[in-house]
A = this chain, B = another copy of it.
């Protein structure tokens, strides 16, 4: 049915050895042979069986991409960028949604391993490191600390928190609240946003309130009730910094419902700068994460690591404030 390398060899009047050499650019090959093989391949509509190739090479050109969420715009954005960078380098994406479930994350790691992926890109997962130690597959983490990982890529969360605080204070805010650090046992890079934010608040003598969120809020993307609680319990609040744009968009809704004008009465700064940030009214001021560069770096690290090269253990990329209409 589907043509094999043998068929190509026969059609081109050569042996599989030569054809394989041409396919993999190894050894001495004449132009005429190259041409004959190209013709035969076209004629037979031949495409190498990647499964057989992967078996022989003990590794595929597939990247296992593990994320905790897909519908969340941040991850949609992330997946899109990783896919694109992977495509450029000839890698395919095996998409794994752990849904924040330890056991699914574990299972997906096993699945990646038994599918002999070239490497794994792990987004802010949560399981302990031990699941990776057996693997001889490069693991690149994004927005996640992982002792045993091959390399990690983060944005400058700490600086992001500082920038947000400085901006809000410069806008005249005196009662700030930060919403979004997730309540879990595992420390995450994103927690640094809170640290940076608080540091500036302390420094400037501005009151600061930290509101942690629960994991199921992250899953359901539902923060409205919580935000309403904050704004009624702490009516003096005049500036909010949220850990992502979804929370910021909901803060906007709640303010509207409560009759608090934005940015007049209260100012909001989000994080991520995903598409929703410019789809709200007013549009969100937010901290831009360099998603393309993050994805590019991650894929590049994976590529190099899978070829046995030594790679940077940790890469931190800068965030930038995008001023729109909520400050």
Contact = CB atoms under 8 A, between A and B. Distances in A.
Most buried by B among A2, A70, A253, A256: A70
Interface stretch (A13-21, A77-85, A167-175, A311-319): A77-85
A94 interface: yes
A110 interface: yes
A310 interface: no
Copies of the polypeptide in the assembly? 2
Contact of A279 (B70, B110, B136, B249): B249
Contact of A275 (B96, B116, B221): B221
Given A1-B136, A114-B48, A253 B276 contact: no
Contact of A70 (B79, B96, B114): B79
Most buried by B among A1, A69, A97, A281: A281
Interface in A181-197: none
Given A71-B275, A136-B1, A281-B256, A49 B249 contact: no
A55 interface: yes
A87 B97 contact: yes
Interface residues of A, number: 55
Interface string A219-249: 0010000000000000000000000001001
Given A49-B116, A50-B114, A79-B70, A253 B275 contact: no
Contact of A76 (B76, B249, B283): B76
Contact of A116 (B51, B76, B96, B279): B51
Interface of A: 1-2, 45, 47-52, 54-55, 60, 62, 65, 69-71, 73, 76-77, 79-80, 83-84, 87, 92-97, 99, 104, 110-111, 113-116, 134, 136, 221, 246, 249-250, 252-253, 256, 274-276, 279-281, 283
10 contacts: A47-B114, A48-B114, A69-B80, A71-B77, A79-B95, A92-B96, A246-B275, A246-B279, A253-B283, A276-B279
Given A51-B55, A62-B94, A93-B95, 15 more contacts: A50-B111, A50-B116, A62-B115, A65-B95, A70-B79, A71-B275, A73-B275, A80-B97, A87-B104, A92-B111, A246-B279, A249-B279, A253-B281, A276-B279, A280-B281
